Copies of this chain bind each other. A is one copy, B any other.
Amino acid sequence: MGIATLGHVELRCTDVEASRDHFHDVLGMEESLREDGRIYMRAWGDWDTFTLALVPAGESAVGHVAFQVEEPADLDRYADRIERAGHEVEWLDPGADPGQGEAIRFTEPGGHRIELYHEMERADVPPEKRSDLKNQPQVYVDRGVGVRRIDHVNLKVPDVDASTEWFREVLEFELREQLVLDGDRAAAWLSVSPLVHEVAFVDADESALNHLAYYLKAERELYRAVDVLKDNGVEILEGPGHHGISQAMFLYHDEPSGNEIEVFAGGYLIFDPNWEPVTWTEEDLPEAVAWWGETRPFSGADDDEADELMERE
State in angstroms the CA–CA spacing of A213 and B5 once bound together.
26
| A226 contacts across to B, CB distance below 8 A | 242, 292
Q: Does A84 contact B (CB under 8 A)?
A: no
What's the least CB distance linking A266 to chain B, in Å? 6
> Quick check: A133 and B224 within 8 Å, CB to CB?
no
Q: Does A236 contact B (CB under 8 A)?
A: yes
In the complex, per-residue mask of A249-271: 1 if CB is within 8 Å of any chain B CB, else 0:
00000000000000000101101
8 Å CB contact of A247 from B71, B133, B291: B133
In the complex, per-residue mask of A131-144: 1 if CB is within 8 Å of any chain B CB, else 0:
11111100110111
* Chain B residue nearest to A45 in the complex (CB): B268
| A127 contacts across to B, CB distance below 8 A | none
Chain A contact patch, size range: 35 or more
Do A131 and B231 contact each other (CB < 8 Å), given the known contacts A45-B268, A71-B273, A218-B266? yes
Which chain A residues in 210-251 approach chain B with CB under 8 Å? 218-221, 223-224, 226-228, 230-231, 235-236, 239-242, 244-247
State in angstroms the CA–CA spacing of A218 and B177 once bound together.
22
In the complex, per-residue mask of A31-73: 1 if CB is within 8 Å of any chain B CB, else 0:
0000000000000010110000000000000000000111100
Secondary structure class of chain A's binding surface, majority of residues: loop
State in angstroms the CA–CA spacing of A295 and B293 once bound together.
9
Q: Does A23 contact B (CB under 8 A)?
A: no
| A279 contacts across to B, CB distance below 8 A | 134
Q: Does A78 contact B (CB under 8 A)?
A: no
Do A224 and B224 contact each other (CB < 8 Å), given the known contacts A193-B271, A231-B139, A272-B5? yes
